[in-house]
Amino acid sequence: MKILVTGAAGYLGSILTKSLLERGYEVRGIDAGWYGTEQIKECFNHKNFEYIESDIRNLITMVKALKNIDGVIHLASIVGMPASSIEPRTSEEVNYIASKNMAELCQLHGITTFIFASSCSVYGSQPDVLITEKSKMDPMDFYAKQKYLSERSIGYLKNSPTIFRFGTLFGLSPRMRFDLVINLFIAQAIAHNKITVHGGSQYRPFLHVQDAADVLIFALEKDLTGTFNAISKNYTILEAANKISDATGCEIETASEMEDPRNYNVSGKKMEMMGFTPKKRIEDAIEEIRDYILDTKINYKDKKYSNYELLFSSKEMQEKVFLLGI
């Protein structure tokens, strides 16, 4: 099969692209290049890899990118509530309208395999129930609402799509991010021997980024359709911090204010019934991120490791993403 991966150079996309190539797929990756392409440099020499640098809002490019494609895994978006809120109109164009267009183009081209990366954030705050795929959706922020609208627009199509509502990702990636809570806590533990927790009682479903790539490939190979929660374990933010503290011996500092009110405990049973079980734990991420930080001597606070900081702080980036558009 020849697979089009949008967002191929992203946090998840860079791992997925490499994993697909290792499994013998032909991959055409498309990415706007906002965060560079160094993270997929080893793929450029692969005989089965083709790369297109383009904004997914460019319909002419997207039509060309779908030529001779058997399936699409759509990851590209402005990820996360802080980053997507910088310029809401652009985020709506990228996260919702471009996703809707992509799904419709697949149907127009007779491409029946369309896998869309959504988010458990569509559930909002439902702390008192175990959330399944049939639970109500109550998106609380702009990013979650875009994912919710994308799901609805994709679901109307005749071709049956596959939608994954991902939990909060964590773990080492070639395009590393430290604006994700587990990764941030691990970096704080390594760099300062102290983790700062805001609130702490709110639940989150978590999933290692390699497991996220693996579940996408699993769906591809099993020809799954429908909507699935993609999570490994649910922890409160404080429980997650305690696991890292236990492994590293770091101190935990708590702040009473809750920066993010989302609170949801999500069931991953449906994917387990399909035959997929995540393999990676928080402990695995602690080891790999600790080794990465100590070996490379990076500063985890560098703006390049945060979607929001990179987009917000760079005038050149804002012109590229928000003002010039395509």
Name 234's bridge partners: 205
The tally of CA atoms less than 13 A away on the side-chain side of residue 148 is 14
Q: Please give the Cα distance from 65 to 8 (Å, whole number).
A: 13
- pLDDT at residue number 23: 97
Residue 294 CB coordination number (10 Å): 10
pLDDT at 156: 78
DSSP 97: I
pLDDT of residue 322: 63
Give the model's pLDDT for residue 294. 94
Tell me phi and psi for residue 183, to 5 degrees: -60, -40
Model pLDDT, residue 323: 55
List the domains of the chain with CATH numbers: 2-323 (3.40.50.720)
Q: Quote the CA–CA distance of 132 and 130 in Å, as a whole number.
A: 7
Residue 199: per-residue pLDDT: 85
Show the low-confidence residues of the chain (pLDDT under 70): 258-259, 314-326
Task: State how far the Cα of 64 lies from the Cα of 50, in Å rounded to an integer.
Answer: 13
pLDDT at 316: 61
Query: Angle formed by the axes of helices 13-22 and 209-222, to 10°?
Result: 50
pLDDT digits (tens, 9 = 90+) for 26-65: 999 999 998 889 999 999 999 999 999 999 999 999 999 9
Average pLDDT of the chain is 92
pLDDT at residue number 86: 81
* CB distance 146 to 91 below 8 Å: yes
